[in-house]
Amino acid sequence: MVEVEDLVFDYPGKRALHGVSLTVPAGAVLAVIGPNGAGKSTLLRVIAGLDEPVSGAVRVDGVDVLAHPREAHRRLGYLSDFFGLYEELTVRQGLLHAASVRGVPAEAQAAAVQRAADLLGLADRLNQTAAQLSRGLRQRLAIGQALVHNPAVLLLDEPAAGLDPEARASLSALFRLLRGEGTTLLVSSHILAELEEYSTHMLAVRDGRVAALTDLQAPVTAGVQRLRIALAHPWQAPPGFWRDQGAGLREPPAAPAPGHDALWVDMPGRHEGAARLLQALVAAGAPVCEFTVHRESLADSYLRSTQARGEDRP
């Protein structure tokens, strides 16, 4: 759905993007993370066709963004981290204006506005002006203007900044709903715990380069699951137990999950293998109190990407 090839972008006296390439599949939610000044916002703006790179190519839903920006804008929505609203327009007028400039046919605009208002919880605020809205409701209106034309791709730069916990939870629910409808999202944020709730892929950006591009839903290897096995008390496996089960013990991750006596195991056979291993553990007298499939968290993935580059930063 989004293809970026060898993207180079310069600010006066500084190169912000160094040959960035990535592919985002349709229906994915890509968490774009990295330190301040890494190039995250610049990358989103170039994908949105708002900034022109020195070189490289960008395609959104098959459309060349640099060659046909207006056509691309019909297929994508973009929310800047510093957004503006027309203070004197009502919520309805703001959404109608956004629908109009994004090419929604006149006869379909009212339905598009109602859908966006329902999605963002603004249906009871349609006649209020933007100036009358709270910080959280203003953020919702800005997101509504970005998605009122039902884009295939939605680019959001720090969408949860300044929101209270309730508003953030509502935003996470919205992103999960959009993902369920097939929308592809690219979300830049520093709040990894919230990105964890709905992201399917992670892009780590450092110093204008791709540090890591990870499928968070992929198994460790094909046909293998990584399992975390928590024990009520220490237990010594019988000789040859793990070899007989075809399981491989692993070192704990850099940031282990809570629990003192926990084993980390790579088990072939996917669900059938996991079920067989659990049965064998119980038969061998292992005091299993938790048996879960482990997927690398966003924080784990990001820390691993920095370690792979020889960096040591908090």
Helices then strands, each counted (H, E), the chain: 10, 14
Percentage of the chain exceeding pLDDT 70: 89
Instruction: Tell me the C-alpha distance between 265 and 262, whole Å.
Output: 10
Residue 256 has pLDDT above 50, yes or no: no
What pLDDT, in 10s, does the model give residues 165-194?
887 888 888 888 898 889 999 999 887 777
Q: Averaged over 127-156, what is the pLDDT? A: 93
Work out the pLDDT band at 225, boundaries 50, 70, 90: confident
**pLDDT (tens digit, 9 = 90+) per residue, 71-122?**
999 999 999 988 889 999 999 999 999 999 988 999 999 999 999 999 888 9
Task: Specify the pLDDT at position 223.
Answer: 66
Per-domain residue ranges of the chain:
2-215, 224-293
Find the helix or strand (DSSP H, E) in which 64 lies.
strand 63-64
Asked whether the beta carbons of 129 and 51 are under 8 A apart, the reply is: no
Both tokens of 274, joined, read 């996991």
pLDDT the model gives residue 269: 81
Out of 35-44, 109-118, 146-155, 259-268, which region has the weakest mean confidence (pLDDT)?
259-268
Query: What does the pLDDT read at residue 163?
Result: 76
Confidence of residue 234 (pLDDT cuts 50, 70, 90): confident
Q: Which of 9-18, 167-176, 288-297 has the lowest mean pLDDT?
A: 288-297
Mean pLDDT of 238-244: 90
pLDDT at 156 over 50: yes
- pLDDT of residue 231 exceeding 80, the answer is yes
In which band, very low, low, confident or very high, does the pLDDT at 312 lie, cut at 50, 70 and 90?
very low
pLDDT at 157: 94
* pLDDT, position 172: 87
pLDDT average, residue stretch 223-240 = 86
- Using the predicted structure, report yes or no on whether residue 255 has a pLDDT greater than 50: no
Contact between 265 and 250 under an 8 Å Cβ cutoff? The reply is yes
d(CA 264, CA 277): 13
pLDDT bracket for residue 227 (50, 70, 90)? confident
Q: What is the mean pLDDT of residues 1-9?
A: 96
Give the closest residue to 73 by CA, choosing from 110, 45, 43. Answer: 45
Res 302: pLDDT: 66
Report the Cα 261 to chain-centroid distance in Å: 32
Mean of all residue pLDDT scores within the chain: 87
The pLDDT of residue 226 is 80
CATH classification (class only), 2-215:
alpha beta
Q: Which two tokens stand for residue 304?
A: 């691993």
**Of residues 38 and 218, more confidently modeled:** 38
Is the domain spanning 224-293 CATH 1.10.287? The answer is: no
